[in-house]
Amino acid sequence: MDIDLQNKIFAITTQSELGRKLGKRPQTISVWFRNRVPAECVFSMAKVLGW
């Protein structure tokens, strides 16, 4: 994931809070930040972030 996008997400919420809202473990969210968000989770992540 692009560092600018990570910073925008972290300005809204923490990694742990994002995981709780999505029903995912913080370790899973961490992998997303190192690699990419799975396609099936993009819309739910956008909804949680208010995008």
How many domains does the structure of the chain reveal? 1
Q: What is the CB-side half-sphere exposure of residue 33 using CA atoms within 13 A?
A: 19
Instruction: Enter the DSSP assignment of 27.
Output: H
pLDDT at 15: 92
Give the pLDDT of residue 12.
94
Within the chain, which residues score under 70 in pLDDT? none
pLDDT digits (tens, 9 = 90+) for 32-44: 999 999 999 999 9
Give the orientation angle of helix 15-22 with respect to helix 26-34, to 10 degrees: 110
The pLDDT score that the predictor gives to residue 2 is 87
Q: What pTM was estimated for this model as a whole?
A: 0.81
Contact residues for 28 (Cβ-Cβ < 8 A; gap 6+)? 19
Q: What is the pLDDT of residue 34?
A: 92
* Host domain of residue 12: 3-49
